[in-house]
Structures are given as C-alpha cells and as structure tokens.
Amino acid sequence: MADADTMKREREAVAAAGRRLAADGLVIGTSGNLSVRTGRRVAVSPTGAVLAELEAADVAVVGLDGIHRAGPWAPTSELALHLEIYARHGSGAVVHTHAPVATALGLVLDELPCVHYEMLGLGGPVRVAAYATFGSSELATAVAEALEDRAAALMANHGAVTHGPDLAAAVRATHLLEWACRLYWRAAAIGTPRVLDPEQLGAVVDTIAARAYGVTRAVDPGEPTAEKGH
C-alpha cells in the first residue's frame, strides 16, 4: 500500500504535468487526463478538470480496483482506460491528450508509419486504436491492445495515449508523438513520406548501442569525436 506521503508527491506530480501539457498546447480545457501508479494506488486527474489550473488537492486517488480512496472529486471519465493499461502493461504512468496534430492524424490513418528514427522511442510505427465511445470498456481494450510493445497509440476520431515506467517518460512520449505526427503531416502535404524499413531501423538500434547515443559522457582527450572520411 502506498503511504500518504508518496501519494501526496504523486498528486503534485500529476497536477504539475497537467499544467505543463496545457502550457505546451497538448491539452485544451478539460480535454485530457493523466495518472501515476504507485503500488496498488493511482493518482489521477479528476473528471471535468481544467488541466491548466490543476492543483494537487484536486487530484483523485483510486485503487487498481477503481474504488475512490482520496480527493474531493471523482476521477476522470476515462478511468477504465488508465486501469486497463496498468493491468495489461504494468505501466507506471498514463497520459491521454487531444493533441491537435495527433488527433488529426487519427482521423485519417490506420497507422502512423516510422518515418524518422526518433520514433523508435515510441517502439516504432504507432497503431491507431479502433473508435469506441469515450469512457467505455471497448475503448479501454482497443487502446491497451494498440499499446502492445509500444509507448504510444493514436485513437481513431479521438486523441492519443502514451504510457511509460514513470510520469516523466509518459510525458516525453506525448511530446515525441506530437512531434512525429507534425513531421508526417508536413511531409505528406508535400508528397509521400518515405518509411524506414526494418533493416534501416535495425542499423539505428545497433548504432545507438555502439555509440551510447543520447547519453551524456565525458570526452577522452585522445579519442576522435567523428569518423574520418575515406
């Protein structure tokens, strides 16, 4: 069981992340929700919350059984979505937004193809979960299935969902997803975007491992910092 101090920290984290997502234009008004799991407790944004104004005291706490444990307000109407993702994937946090470009692509695509190697941070191509009414068990199941081996999914005619081991990772995935969606949208307005094939993506994975790409490290004074041309 999560102790009171831990859940206080998690409620503060949910509120701060909600305000950041609003400031970054990824949620507008009440259109989005997010949560963090600690043990068998989940701190989750409340229903009808304006995320730009969210405070820790507003954040609800529920059990993985969905029973309300703390907070003055009922949890988001998308609680079933969050709980299904936790049950199926063991995630540490879930973020659901109606980010504008991600939502737009979910109106027309069945899958967002891997057009840039940075999308490996989302697990590769992003699936589009079939449409179902918000708050329904059908939607929760469809999205959880679309997230298999992925950090993100689009939702047909609805929005987007990301998850991760912690809230920071889920928020990063939300930003990366919207960036990738914007990239695809702009490229598709010019022509047909090229899609990276499995061999190309495998080479990226190998290079990341060999070069510790994305990890800050000190420079060895005797080490060349770039490959020489031949």
Of the candidates 10, 12, 53, 78, the residue annotated as catalytic is 78
Q: Is-contact 32 98, C-beta < 8 A?
A: yes
Residues 6 or more apart in contact with residue 120 via CB below 8 angstroms: 114, 201, 204, 205, 208
The verdict on whether 78 is a catalytic residue reads: yes
Token pair listed for 168: 């920071």
| Cα distance between residue 205 and residue 170, in whole Å | 21
If we measure between CA atoms, which residue out of 135, 175, 30 comes closest to residue 143? Answer: 135
- Mapped onto helix, strand or coil, the DSSP state of residue 35 is strand
- Label the pairing between strands 126-129 and 152-155: parallel
Half-sphere exposure of 54 (CA within 13 A, CB side): 38
Question: 117 with 201: CB under 8 angstroms?
Answer: yes
* Residues annotated as catalytic (active site), given as ranges: 78
